[in-house]
Structure 1
Amino acid sequence: MSETYDDEQQAFDCTVNGTPTRLVGDPAAPASIALRARGLFSVRETCGLGVCGTCTVLLDDEPVSTCITPLFALEGRSVRTAEGLEDGGRLSELQQQFVESQAFQCSFCTPGFLLSGTALLSRTEGELDDDAIEEGLQGHLCRCGCYDSIKHAVRTCAARRLQDTGRIR
């Protein structure tokens, strides 16, 4: 439940990367501001319009741009940032595949691509072709042009899960 601090500040309770968290700020301000204030620096606001993808988080497992998501929208919900992709200090499969595929250069866009890629992999089964990957990663911009490597990383993760379940065709 939100709690009022003063005319402009309110507290909102949510779960961030599996931990109950209270975020404080202007309810109408972009959620990215409060998340960065908590030290979650993978949430990077760049465009402020929801078109570049650098501020993407998973909100109840769906990718959203936090630069256009007001803080009050996080109340009672689950937020996952790129910092929350690790499990016990180990990179997620997609993070590891980004490393192996060299799916980044400057890495500024990487957290957003990782989160949308994670969501895409979690809601699909089987192999993914380039069209499906491009649709799943729509709304993300990479100024270094690493799109082919990023698609390769997601495609490889999708193929590996087929191997892991013994459903190789």
Structure 2
Amino acid sequence: MSGIEEVKDVTCRINGEEVTLAGEAAGSTVAALRARGLYGVRETCGLGVCGTCTVLVDGEPVSTCILPKFALEGRDVVTVEGAAVDGELSELQKQFIESQAFQCSFCTPGFLASAKALLDRTTGELTRDEVEEGLQGHLCRCGSYDAITDAIIAVSRRRGASEPDAGVA
């Protein structure tokens, strides 16, 4: 074995906790996260096109099904399990529930990750077009797109224009 095929420990922060992921460096990130009990990270397509396995890596949405584990070295990873604030659901998570922005909810964690990233990098109330563009690459087999978009717009409407990150964690 040589290069990325070697067994190599990878150290990163997952949901605020420094962890070491053992095993093959080129192994699947989605598998490594699920092995840690983070079952909100789900795999559907295995090709990086459906968005189901999306988590935040250094604040950016990333498809973990195509991300080799070695790419996490020194990075900060946030899954849906880490989105809660002091043990309470985030405003975005609460709004998804209030808006019934799910049916089977299999895709919901990935949508939440990309929605958080979108809200974190924008200010003010978002338009439908902005939300739809920010969620490109996510598929919902149940067709909950309108409710998901409405939930994100509702959170964007409530945030303070001078505090783009307020309450969207």
Q: TM-score, normalised by structure 1?
A: 0.90
- Runs (4+) of structure 1 moved beyond 6 Å? none
Q: Mapping of 1:41-80 within 5 angstroms?
A: 41-80=39-78
Q: Mapping of 1:6-155 within 5 angstroms?
A: 8-155=6-153
Paired residue type of 2:160: L
- Deviation, 1:8, is 4.6
- Given that 1:53 and 1:65 are in contact with CA atoms closer than 8 Å, whether structure 2 keeps it comes out as yes
For 2:145 and 2:43, locate their aligned partners in 1 and report how far apart those are by CA, in whole Å: 20
For 2:87 and 2:16, locate their aligned partners in 1 and report how far apart those are by CA, in whole Å: 14
- In structure 2, the gaps of 5 or more residues are 164-169
Paired residue type of 1:67: C
Does the residue aligned with 2:33 lie in a helix, a strand or coil?
A: helix
- Deviation, 1:25, is 2.3
Q: Which moved more, 1:94-103 or 1:22-31?
A: 22-31
- Given that 2:55 and 2:79 are in contact with CA atoms closer than 8 Å, whether structure 1 keeps it comes out as yes
For 2:146 and 2:119, locate their aligned partners in 1 and report how far apart those are by CA, in whole Å: 17
Does the residue aligned with 2:13 lie in a helix, a strand or coil?
A: strand
Relative distance call for 1:163 and 1:77 in structure 2 (3 A) is closer
- Deviation, 1:38, is 0.4
- Deviation, 1:89, is 1.2
- Given that 1:57 and 1:112 are in contact with CA atoms closer than 8 Å, whether structure 2 keeps it comes out as yes
- Deviation, 1:27, is 1.2
Cα deviations by residue, 1:64-106 (Å, 9 ceiling, x for unpaired): 0000110000000000000000011110010000000000010
Cα deviations by residue, 1:126-150 (Å, 9 ceiling, x for unpaired): 1101110011111100000000000
Paired residue type of 1:107: S
- Deviation, 1:162, is 3.4
Q: What is the count of residue pairs matched by the alignment?
A: 159
- Deviation, 1:164, is 9.2
Q: TM-score, normalised by structure 2?
A: 0.90
